[in-house]
Structure 1
């Protein structure tokens, strides 16, 4: 496993992290807790030190599972969690519920209790829309949490460029988590260059486009009830994505799977600190982790990718 600096912070993170959304058990199909714990244990064994979760994943269940794995080795783990969606998840009106810094700190403390730790390495605002009162409340809460030593770095989870700049208006943004992959290159235009220039760490979610870039799906694929992907087979973007993935198969090698190619692609961007593919099994973790030592992309690889999927 190779490691990188998380932007201008002094935090060192593994190139490949562990995305813990799926293990929450309420969005990505069936998953057993013992398999989730085994997957995280395998990740740590293979040198992955960055674990990303959120209070809304399984309504806190993901954080609870993560707490079991980091127990006794907290100082070896770069722990990332997010807040800001739990209230909206429960409030059908969508009224602001994080409009005061005290409410955000209250949500943060609840995460600490579930994670059984007294600090978070990276804490993200999980709201991706710009409601003025909530944005300002998060900025104030971040200042308080950093001042009190409760967090080492703060960030926002969004692809909205203007929102990112607003959060960073006083240079206080340390990290951004955003969706970036072979099939979603929009952030290459403005956002990633800006983050690189500002020294802001980049955590890439969705680097495998939620499994599409592993090549395991086809037009005959179906998803179970309770899986957020259930309607994908009826959506045009999914069909078009499968066509692009089939064209990319020519870049597979004996020592580099299609999924590992996709991970190497996002790691190829100089702004990126860590990619956090999700995993529910030890085998998925092994394949993801191995991407860190797989062959780099050649100029011919990049040229073909640009032909199939222009920026």
Structure 2
């Protein structure tokens, strides 16, 4: 396993996103397989484990905590706070809370669910527009001083917010969606992070499964799969995006790897300050993802991927209009 550098924090170059073990991508009640997947990741050197307090409304942190019982020292454990579930909405959290008092309470609750004394990386999941970022990060910095957190991160924030936060306390990582089909961070955020020495953690590096080439129709999703409500997976957008993915499949076949491995290798080739966290709840997909570590791309192959999947080529937005309001651009 290669290593990536997120500020002063060293992590495995590929991590494991655990959200799907508890929500979003259809029914998931095989905790035994999920725990076995976490263990397989640790065994393979994939030690960067990512969760959040809102995933499964706390259930995911509890699951990860059980998986890490007796193996805590092997993991670089990351979690997040800031989202809250609103009443009457059982699909997506819609309330963002960055108040200092909420941050303190949220961290204590996360530590209890995880069954740990500290987390290695603690993110603000979304910026609260009603609270100055300096106040939120100030409260997060207190947690570092108290020994409950080692390093701080932000998620889905603008370059301006990163600068303001970093001036209060060093930010080690920013987590946002980045992949062949989500190129937004490349224009402003990534250059800002590199100027400041901050690492980048791409979530959904496989385009919520689209870049694996295995999705054929929106009808394939289970009724409670969140992708049914995302613009990129709906109507005409689905077919337009499928046509783009076919180009990736062709390039992958020519290289003798899977489309997903090629997509992950593209991200890994962007620098050692990048640590994607593809999510899975099954060991067989974990093994496939980890195979990307051994895929080396030439300059010509990287150029071919950029040509096949240029920025702004994807049809449809990442989230619904309401959910996009919580994403800084």
Offset of residue 156 of structure 1: 0.6
Distance of 2:129 and 2:138 partners within structure 1: 14
Residue 189 of structure 2 is matched in structure 1 by 191
Distance of 2:207 and 2:96 partners within structure 1: 30
Describe the superposition over 1:279-301 as per-residue Cα deviations: whole angstroms up to 9, x where unpaired. Answer: 0110011011121122x111221
Residue 57 and residue 162 in structure 1: after superposition, are their counterparts in 2 closer, same or farther (change >3 A)? Answer: same
CA contact (8 A) 1:196 1:270 kept: no
State the secondary structure of the residue aligned to 1:174: strand
Residue 245 of structure 2 is matched in structure 1 by 245
Residue 286 of structure 1 is matched in structure 2 by 287
Distance of 1:249 and 1:291 partners within structure 2: 15
Residue 169 and residue 57 in structure 1: after superposition, are their counterparts in 2 closer, same or farther (change >3 A)? Answer: same
Residue 115 and residue 33 in structure 1: after superposition, are their counterparts in 2 closer, same or farther (change >3 A)? Answer: same
Residue 300 of structure 1 is matched in structure 2 by 300
State the secondary structure of the residue aligned to 1:169: helix
Distance of 1:223 and 1:304 partners within structure 2: 31
Offset of residue 5 of structure 1: 2.0
Residue 82 and residue 217 in structure 1: after superposition, are their counterparts in 2 closer, same or farther (change >3 A)? Answer: same
Q: How does 1:50-199 map to 2 (within 5 A)?
A: 50-86=48-84, 88-90=85-87, 97-99=97-99, 101-127=100-126, 129-133=127-131, 135-170=133-168, 172-199=170-197
- Name the TM-score, length of structure 2 as normaliser: 0.86
Offset of residue 234 of structure 1: 2.7
Q: Structure 2: which 5+ runs fail to align?
A: 312-329
Supply the RMSD in Å over aligned alpha carbons.
2.1
Residue 263 and residue 202 in structure 1: after superposition, are their counterparts in 2 closer, same or farther (change >3 A)? Answer: same
State the secondary structure of the residue aligned to 2:167: coil
Distance of 2:226 and 2:241 partners within structure 1: 17
Q: How does 1:209-288 map to 2 (within 5 A)?
A: 209-219=207-217, 221-231=219-229, 233-253=233-253, 255-270=256-271, 272-288=273-289
Offset of residue 255 of structure 1: 4.3
Distance of 1:272 and 1:238 partners within structure 2: 32
Number of residue pairs aligned between Structure 1 and Structure 2: 304
Distance of 1:221 and 1:72 partners within structure 2: 41
Residue 220 and residue 229 in structure 1: after superposition, are their counterparts in 2 closer, same or farther (change >3 A)? Answer: closer
Distance of 1:193 and 1:237 partners within structure 2: 30
State the secondary structure of the residue aligned to 2:181: coil
State the secondary structure of the residue aligned to 1:13: strand
CA contact (8 A) 1:96 1:134 kept: no
Residue 91 and residue 152 in structure 1: after superposition, are their counterparts in 2 closer, same or farther (change >3 A)? Answer: farther
Offset of residue 231 of structure 1: 3.9
State the secondary structure of the residue aligned to 1:110: helix
Residue 44 of structure 2 is aligned to residue 46 of structure 1: yes
Describe the superposition over 1:59-110 as per-residue Cα deviations: whole angstroms up to 9, x where unpaired. Answer: 1111111111111121110000000102x545879676442x1221111000
Describe the superposition over 1:117-167 as per-residue Cα deviations: whole angstroms up to 9, x where unpaired. Answer: 00010000011x451426333212111011111111001111533332332
